[in-house]
Amino acid sequence: MQQKKKNSEPKEGVRLNKYIADAGYCSRRKADEIVFAGHVTVNGHLIIEPGSRVQSGDVVVVQSQRIKQPQRCYILLNKSRDAISTVKDERDRKTVMDLIEGATKERVYPIGRLDRNTTGILLLTNDGELANRLSHPSGEMRKVYKARLDKPLPYADLKKLRNGIMLEDGFAKPDEAEYDTNGDESCIVITLHIGWNRIVRRIFEAMGYKVKLLDRVSYGSLTLHGVPRGDWRYLTNDEVKKLYGSK
């Protein structure tokens, strides 16, 4: 069998180790080991470099098993309360995977997390590139939350909120903060690019308020319109393209 150390294809397509991992065969690190050990062929050629590029239509065989990349799947979930934003829970509690049961045969994962009692938009996908783009701090994805507080927020404190609050992990300044359209001073609509853990709850806690209910009502260009609580829908191609270009 002819052995190739370097891939002569142009630098397009997908790295071989990523291709194997994305197919669900193993982790990318394990894929490196399998490739180095000489157990992978591409179009009948033995490949021993994990960084070799795989092109569309290539035949990839790993340890005598042909593998294919999964069909890309993008799901928008209107998460309900008491659902954990993980694939599995050690205590056998309900997860977001239970809410999208039957939606796809592909292995999808949530992008980021909403804590157990937070409701609203959560994206699930098997597109690792998009997940990394949206999760990385440089992505600056715009997220809008509606927070119900345990007591009214006076205008003086609303101004403090707009000016930013110092937390343990840095200065947190909302992009926008307003009373809800009904004028209820205990219901605040807050817009953030920051993706820190429990950021909205911690901001209000630092100001002496407790968040009783928290709902993420938009994520980038996506909203909850037409998706009831606990339900889901697939993203359109245009929505996926917008997410790739979002800031």
Residue 169 annotated in active site: no
> What is the reported pLDDT for 139?
62
> What is the reported pLDDT for 211?
98
Average pLDDT across the chain, whole number: 91
Cα dihedral 228, 229, 234, 238, rounded to 10, equals 70
> What is the reported pLDDT for 10?
45
Averaged pLDDT for residues 198-224 = 97
Task: Given the residues 115, 150, 169, 184, select the one marked as catalytic.
Answer: 115
Q: 166-210, pLDDT tens digit by residue?
A: 999 999 999 999 999 888 999 999 999 998 889 999 999 999 999
Q: How far is CA 98 from the centre of its chain?
A: 17
CA-based nearest residue to 13, from 51, 46, 67: 51
> What is the reported pLDDT for 11?
57
Q: Which pair of structure tokens corresponds to residue 47?
A: 């490949």
The full set of domains in the chain, from first to last, is: 3-67 (3.10.290.10), 74-244 (3.30.2350.10)
Phi–psi pair at 212, nearest 5 degrees: -80, -40
Range 219-222 contact pairs with CB under 8 angstroms and sequence separation of 24 or more: 219/121, 219/123, 219/141, 219/142, 219/143, 219/144, 220/134, 220/141, 220/142, 220/143, 220/246, 221/246, 222/76, 222/121, 222/123
> What is the reported pLDDT for 138?
67
Percent of the chain with pLDDT over 90: 72
Q: 93-143, pLDDT tens digit by residue?
A: 999 999 999 999 888 999 988 999 999 999 999 888 888 888 876 667 899
